[in-house]
Amino acid sequence: MPELVYTPLEDIDKIHAELRTGFQSGKLKPIAYRKYQLLQLAYLVKDNSKRLEEALAKDLGRPPLEGHFLEISATLTEVTNTYCNVAKWAKPEKPGFSLNWTVMRPIVYKVPKGVVLIISPFNYPMYLALGPLAAALAAGNAAVLKPSESSPAMSSLLAELIPKYLDSDLVRVVNGAVPESTKLLDLQWDHIMYTGGYRVAKIVAAAAAKYLTPLTLELGGKSPVIIDPDCDLAMAARRILWGKVVNAGQTCVAPDYILVPRSFQDKFVAALKSAYESFYPGPEGPSAPEAYSRIITPQAFKRIKGLLDNTKGSVVFGGETDEASKFIAPTAVRDVKEGDSLMSEEIFGPVLPIVPVENVDEAIAFVNAHDHPLALYVFSQNPEFKAKVFNNTQSGAAVANETVIHTAAEGLPFGGVGTSGYGAHTGKYGFDTFTHFRASLDSSSWIDKILGFRYPPYTKAKLKASLKLLPRLPARPAGPPSATARSKWWGKWFFLAFVVAIAGGLTKRLKTSSRSS
Ligand code: NAD
């Protein structure tokens, strides 16, 4: 695997200018050419899947199964889905019929934004780089991809392969760390998509603001899990633990902490423990070859170990660490309280704190007292429990009885809210992110027979004509909706009481008349 060569700073202006020329050439205007580039991208992945798998293993110690399931096949699915749908997504859209406007042939053209910058992170260094790249190309943009310097094997492989498969006047890879990223951010882009942590996101947002560049921020945060004792416990434990151990917890939507009723904690911990034993049955446990990923850098290892060393909770299983191989065993910690080291920041590692609460109301209050997470998980068989949690919280995604895989579900947006980010991608959401929706009308001369009143000189007759266009409002509301609903409710009871009274009166009269006859 070649060493990561940083792009010379003095080349970056030239790359930017070449991409601008490539975009302006109009090469990507025909959908057929976009599809050609997308198919090339798909073949880049297919032809080199072994090397990509090796790069993931080198950077993150990724077991082949995780490499294939979470990156190689997920990327191929994303690119293929984009390839198959780009023609449909790019079609101009007519708005619904409107008496006032239809005659002017309103239409929305889907046009590319221009030359875009994609800054991707180390943790899914292929899926989060090539997925957004596919979306940018599908929308007709030229793009610079800036992969993470923390995953050097993948970043250098992308720098080698992309020029072999994609046109270099349309796509370029810029490798490097802070100076190269800073240089990139000094330039004007037509859209920036940044995936990573919130601290750097603020630097990116400030740089984007300089040119009023539209920005998508795909960030992270602490994604909670709320447990209902009325859940399929073995399945819940399995899926939560999988969501945490996959990529050694370095997943933006990994379950970060568990909120469990205090009286149910023992049962939940026992189920989690048995899931752990079933995942790593051999004597070597998770340190067996190709069983489990490693932490990306020594600094990240130290940070996660520091959080674990300082917890006041009790370790249930795991806790083993090895600095030399950047190994941290999957670790569950029970009886964790607010204010604990494990609750101080996004863990982004394989440590799972369990926080006991009284009930679902306290769990909801706990979630709402923190930043909006990227994902919120609930494990329950009870529709009312799920609805209560979802209806009373905010998060990027709200997922019941599953973890992590919702990010790859076709047709769903992948994005955050609040500090977990803004904007979204994957599938059509990615296409739309890199697309400008260009509004258009084509108005005939005869329209002035109707709209001629708009032209000066303004007269009373023209004002009268203009007032004819005022929309008709629905009837004035009787009150706020809840009050209206209440009055309807009373109305129903009143009607029922009225019917009963009439019926009662009639029966009485009938009885009296039959007695008297
Ligand atoms: P990272 O260290 O790989 O950094 C991300 C990118 O930012 C890299 O390309 C890096 O070169 C660049 N960068 C670093 N400093 C910069 C600077 N000063 N200016 C411009 N760019 C700079 O990854 P990270 O930030 O540690 O990523 C982890 C975070 O990303 C976690 O919070 C995680 O939850 C989040 N994340 C979010 C998603 C999502 O889709 N929402 C996906 C993956 C990761």
CATH number, domain containing residue 363: 3.40.309.10
**In the prediction, which pLDDT does 483 show?**
58
Asked whether residue 180 falls in the same domain as residue 119, the answer is yes
Asked whether residue 143 falls in the same domain as residue 247, the answer is no
Q: Is 231 a catalytic residue?
A: no
Asked whether residue 15 falls in the same domain as residue 117, the answer is yes
Asked whether residue 161 falls in the same domain as residue 233, the answer is no
Q: Which two tokens stand for residue 47?
A: 């032809």
Q: Which atom of ligand 1 is nearest to the CA of 147?
A: 9
The answer to whether position 150 is within a domain reads yes
Asked whether residue 282 falls in the same domain as residue 354, the answer is yes
* Domain count for the chain: 2
The answer for residues whose C-beta is within 8 angstroms of residue 501's C-beta and 6 or more apart is none
Distance 433 CA to ligand 1 centre (A): 19
Rounded-to-integer distance, Cα 493 and Cα 497, Å: 6
CATH number, domain containing residue 198: 3.40.605.10
Asked whether residue 169 falls in the same domain as residue 254, the answer is no
DSSP-derived secondary structure for 128-167: HHHHHHHHHHHTT-EEEEE--TTSHHHHHHHHHHHHHHS-
Contact 203 CB / ligand 1 (< 6 Å): yes
pTM: 0.92
**In the prediction, which pLDDT does 297 show?**
97
Q: What is the DSSP letter of 404?
A: S
The answer to whether position 278 is within a domain reads yes
DSSP-derived secondary structure for 225-249: EEE-SSS-HHHHHHHHHHHHHGGGG
Q: Which two tokens stand for residue 104?
A: 């002017």
Amino acid, single-letter form, for residue 283:
P
What percentage of the chain reaches a pLDDT higher than 70? 93
Q: What is the pLDDT of residues 264-284, one digit of tens each?
A: 999 999 999 999 999 999 999
Q: What is the mean pLDDT of residues 161-179?
A: 98
pLDDT band at 54 (very low <50, low <70, confident <90, very high): very high
Asked whether residue 107 falls in the same domain as residue 15, the answer is yes
Pocket test for ligand 1, best of 119, 155, 374 (most atoms within 8 A of CB): 119
Q: What is the mean pLDDT of residues 443-450?
A: 96
Task: Collapse the DSSP code of 428 into the 3-class scheme (helix H, G, I; strand E, B; otherwise coil) and give the result.
Answer: helix
Asked whether residue 353 falls in the same domain as residue 315, the answer is yes
Range of the domain at 231: 224-415
Q: Which residue has the higher pLDDT, 512 or 289?
A: 289
Q: Which strand (E) or helix (H) includes residue 191?
A: strand 191-195
pLDDT band at 509 (very low <50, low <70, confident <90, very high): low
Contact 200 CB / ligand 1 (< 6 Å): yes
Q: What is the pLDDT of residues 147-168, one digit of tens each?
A: 999 999 999 999 999 999 999 9
Contact 345 CB / ligand 1 (< 6 Å): no
Asked whether residue 43 falls in the same domain as residue 138, the answer is yes
Rounded-to-integer distance, Cα 197 and Cα 346, Å: 10
Asked whether residue 17 falls in the same domain as residue 101, the answer is yes
Residue 516 has pLDDT above 50, yes or no: no
What percentage of the chain reaches a pLDDT higher than 90? 91
Closest CA to 379 of 241, 502, 200: 241
Instruction: Check: CB of residue 7 under 8 Å from CB of residue 147.
Output: no
Rounded-to-integer distance, Cα 253 and Cα 242, Å: 12
Asked whether residue 210 falls in the same domain as residue 333, the answer is no
Mean pLDDT of the chain: 94
Q: What is the mean pLDDT of residues 354-376?
A: 98
